[in-house]
Structures are given as C-alpha cells and as structure tokens.
C-alpha cells in the first residue's frame, strides 16, 4: 500500500480520516455551541479551530511513531484501542443523545471542544499514528500519508467552514440523517480495525 506515491493510495488514507473527522456531524454539534454568535463570527471561529486541529494532527503524524516506540506500544494494541474508541463514537453518531443532554457553549471555544476532540479526536489521532508507523522508512510513503491527511482536512474544512450555510440549506433532519449514515460506515470501519488488530496480535504470537 505504501510502496510509491499515487493519488489512489492518498485517497485510501484520506477517506477513513475524513469519515472519522465527521464534518457533517461535527457541523451540527458546532452550530449548537456557537448559536449565540453571528454567522460571520461562527465562520471565523470554525476556521481558527480547523487550523488548530490540523496542527495537532500533523504533530501526531510527526511524533506518533517515536511516541509509540518510547511507550513500547504495538500496532495490534493501537488498532484494537483505536477500533474500540471508533466503535463507541460511531454508536453515538447512529444513536445520538437527546438535545437536552448536550450543553451549549456560550463563550468563544478555544481549541476545546471543537479542535479537540471533535475534529482531532482520539480515534483520528490513533489512525494517523497507525498510518505513520506503517509508512516508516519510506519517504514517498510518508508523502502518501501527508497527502491523505491534507486531503481529508481540506474536505472537512470545506464543509465546516460553511456550516451555517449548509445547515440552512439542508435543514436539521437532513443533517441528522447524514450523521447517522456516516456513523453506520464508521461502525463497519471500527469492526475492520478490530479484526486487523486481532489478526496482528495472533500473528505476533
């Protein structure tokens, strides 16, 4: 998968990262947090948080493999833990909490909770660390991963930066339906990640 750079490889990396970022679901959540701000201020906050999230993601890409080595964490452990976290998040997307269970943030959120954990959440950072470790030792392999990260982030930014307009166009029901559809896809991806982790653990015995 990581032998040489090509668009298909980068896209195969970008697609799961994009789904994990869940821009549609996070857009709906951000609207509730930023409802007391005007549309112009909402866009400014979202763009700022998107940049913070990108910096955090790139930081985990650059230092993820070294961190795994220092903590002596195996790929199987990382995939199993990432799959469990992803499964929990995807279940919440398919079966979201009632509106009364979520709290609106009246102030200007800074890094938390939009950049982290909504955009750059634990499952995304775990996935980035997995890709970084798989690409170890190859310059073009790292370029593939970086291209995939940037593609996923750009697509996410394109959606979230215009959250007020998209929400007004689609309506709340369509936004909820799209979030649950992405949740179903993520459940399948989480199960696959768990299967891969089990397979890696068994082969390492």
pLDDT at 105: 43
Token pair for residue 35?
């409802």
pLDDT at 152: 97
pLDDT at 53: 96
CB 203 within 8 A of CB 37: no
pLDDT at 2: 47
pLDDT at 48: 94
Q: Which residue has the higher pLDDT, 16 or 117?
A: 16
Per-range mean pLDDT, top range of 29-33, 80-84, 168-172, 195-199: 195-199
pLDDT at 57: 95
Q: pTM above the 0.95 mark?
A: no
Q: Which residue has the higher pLDDT, 169 or 50?
A: 50
pLDDT at 50: 95
Average pLDDT over residues 167-188: 76
Residues β-bridged to residue 112: 110
Give the DSSP letter of residue 162. Answer: T
Give the DSSP letter of residue 112. Answer: B
Please say if the pLDDT value at position 191 is more than 80: yes
To the nearest whole number, what is the mean pLDDT of the chain?
A: 80
The label of the residue with tokens 């649950």 reads: 180
């Amino acid at each position: 998968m990581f032998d040489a750079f090509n668009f298909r490889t980068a896209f195969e990396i970008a697609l799961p990262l994009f789904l994990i970022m869940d821009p549609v679901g996070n857009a709906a959540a951000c609207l509730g947090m930023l409802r007391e701000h005007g549309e112009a201020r909402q866009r400014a906050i979202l763009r700022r948080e998107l940049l913070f999230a990108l910096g955090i993601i790139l930081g985990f890409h650059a230092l993820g493999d070294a961190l795994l080595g220092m903590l002596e964490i195996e790929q199987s452990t990382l995939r199993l833990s990432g799959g469990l976290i992803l499964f929990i998040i995807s279940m919440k997307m398919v079966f979201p909490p009632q509106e009364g269970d979520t709290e609106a943030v009246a102030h200007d959120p800074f890094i938390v909770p939009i950049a982290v954990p909504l955009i750059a959440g634990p499952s995304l950072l775990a996935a980035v660390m997995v890709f970084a470790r798989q690409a170890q030792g190859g310059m073009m392999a790292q370029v593939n991963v970086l291209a995939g990260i940037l593609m996923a982030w750009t697509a996410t930014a394109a959606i979230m930066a215009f959250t007020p307009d998209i929400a007004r166009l689609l309506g709340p029901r369509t936004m909820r339906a799209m979030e649950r559809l992405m949740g179903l896809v993520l459940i399948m991806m989480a199960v696959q990640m768990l299967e891969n982790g089990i397979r890696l653990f068994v082969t390492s015995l």
